[in-house]
Amino acid sequence: MTETLAGIAADEGLMQSQFVIEMDRQMRAIDPYGEFDRLSTAELLEPFILTKEKRREIPLVGDPDETVVARIKAYYNAISAMIESECGLMAVPLVHLSHEGFGRVIITVGKLVVLDRSVRDVHRFGFPTLSKMKDEADKVLSVALELIGEHSKVAGL
């Protein structure tokens, strides 16, 4: 773990990207008792990183617990916040999960759906590396911003 952390923390560009800063903020926002205060950003985002080995340890079938669901919400909240700061319009995420861990995630801007995806096996939610996690989020962001640009009238409703 320390090795990965060191690797992550060394990448300054990544650690100062808008996404990582926003993820840090989102994670601290759901920590009412200040348990995360002593954690660095890299340590805070460590649970999002599932290397192949870590993924192998998680059973294929399982119910997501509260902390995983909170992580998923933080992730989509961060993306929504980024959309909002880029286009100036409010982006509203909706994470709809069954207790068995599948469901649908939607982000709306005005009357425009800028993200609509089915999710499953959310108890195994994670990314191979932090940099891949950021790339994923940036991809969602750019698709969303393109949609908003094309259909600005609907996004402004």
Residue from 9, 14, 106, 145 that binds a copy of itself (CB under 8 A)?
Answer: 106
Nearest approach, Cβ of residue 33 and a copy of itself (Å):
22
Residue from 4, 18, 40, 108 that binds a copy of itself (CB under 8 A)?
Answer: 108
**If binding is defined by CB under 8 A, does position 104 make contact with a copy of itself?**
yes
**If binding is defined by CB under 8 A, does position 139 make contact with a copy of itself?**
no
Burial 85-123 (b: 16+ CB within 10 A, else e): eebebebebebebeeebebebebbbbebebbeeebeebb
Spacing of C-alpha 71 from chain mean position: 7
**If binding is defined by CB under 8 A, does position 117 make contact with a copy of itself?**
no
Interface segment toward a copy of itself; rule CB under 8 A; list 17-25, 71-79, 133-141, 148-156: 148-156
Between CA 63 and CA 135 the distance in angstroms is 27
The secondary structure of 63-82 as a DSSP string is ---HHHHHHHHHHHHHHHHH
Interaction pattern, residues 12-31, with a copy of itself; x per rule: CB under 8 A = --------------------
CB nearer a copy of itself, residue 1 or residue 143: 143
Nearest approach, Cβ of residue 47 and a copy of itself (Å):
24
Between CA 28 and CA 54 the distance in angstroms is 24
